[in-house]
Amino acid sequence: MPLTRDFNKLVQKRIARDPAFADALLREGTDTMLSNDGGTDIGPVLNMQFVDSLIGYLEVRHWAFEKLCSSPISSNLIDLKMHHYLYFTNLFSAIELVSDHVGDASARIAFEEHFQKGFAAPGDYFYARELRNAIVHRGLDPAAQGVQKGQKVFAVSPPVVFHRDGKKAYVCTFPLLVDLAAACNTASNAAIHAVVENEGLLDPAAYMLDQTRVLAMIEAADHVPEWAQDMAEQAFATMDFDAMATELAQFRVQQLRSLLGQGRGAPE
């Protein structure tokens, strides 16, 4: 089905004003590359999928941490509980994603040890991990107790968190959970940064795709309708594909660097 010139112009204008739309076109090609073999080098695609998932967890972690730092005294208990839930679940989801990504057992152990050593008191690492488990699996309310500081409210760290088997108990050196979260940010950022830097994932080149391969895989995909294949071909043919791919790769790296540098301390 041929596309009209007006439609082509419409697509180009949309790409120019909406980077997310351009990214969506590129993603369609990368997703298709993953669903077909054909000998295509999918390294950049796998890098994109891993880093985009990591960015998603880190963004929610950061958003929730900001809420932990700035909750007004008028905050309701449900919001406070939700913010702590989102912080600790996304923190450890990011950690587990990276741990799975690094591959073999020795690399996973090294990554976990790097994270653990980021805490001044080793017990805080075990406390934070078991706190997440208690919140998610055992219904612990992390905002059950709080203190007021000026016009803000902060959740008090539970005095003890028990292991799921009930035989181990963990205590925290931080009186407030926001302080524990700040320590978690610092420790996790350093450990994650070491992994992504070592694997070259802070280099935009790790996400660069070849236009010819992307188009070929889109055209070979049975699930992509003909009109969409035509749209992608016309759009890619009239754009500076390399410039677009470079811009998106640089933006991905910028996001990752920014999120891994946001482990600032808790407010006074």
Q: Token digits for 252?
A: 């991905």
Q: Can you count the helices (H) and strands (E) in the chain?
A: 10, 4
Range of the domain at 63: 5-260
Closest CA to 25 of 234, 220, 202: 234
pLDDT tens per residue across span 166-224: 889 999 999 999 999 999 999 999 999 999 999 999 999 999 887 777 777 777 767 67
Q: Report if residue 25 sits inside a domain.
A: yes
Give pLDDT, residue 264: 42
Give pLDDT, residue 15: 55
Q: Report if residue 266 sits inside a domain.
A: no
What distance in Å separates the CA atoms of residue 26 and residue 242, rounded to the nearest whole number? 11
pLDDT at position 41 over 70: no
Quote the percentage of the chain above a pLDDT of 70: 80
Q: Report if residue 132 sits inside a domain.
A: yes
| Mean pLDDT on 109-129 | 96
Quote the percentage of the chain above a pLDDT of 90: 60
- Average confidence score pLDDT of the chain: 84
Q: How confident is the model at residue 11 (pLDDT cuts 50, 70, 90)?
A: low
Q: Report if residue 174 sits inside a domain.
A: yes
Give pLDDT, residue 160: 94
Q: Which residue has the tokens 């694997």?
A: 199
Q: Report if residue 267 sits inside a domain.
A: no
Q: Report if residue 176 sits inside a domain.
A: yes
What is the C-alpha radius of gyration for the chain, rounded to an integer number of angstroms? Answer: 23
Fill in the amino acid letter for 258.
Answer: S
Q: Report if residue 181 sits inside a domain.
A: yes
Q: Residue 204 gets which letter from DSSP?
A: G
What distance in Å separates the CA atoms of residue 20 and residue 8, rounded to the nearest whole number? 18
pLDDT tens per residue across span 233-267: 777 777 787 888 888 899 999 999 999 984 344 44
Q: Report if residue 200 sits inside a domain.
A: yes
User: How many structural domains does the chain have?
Assistant: 1
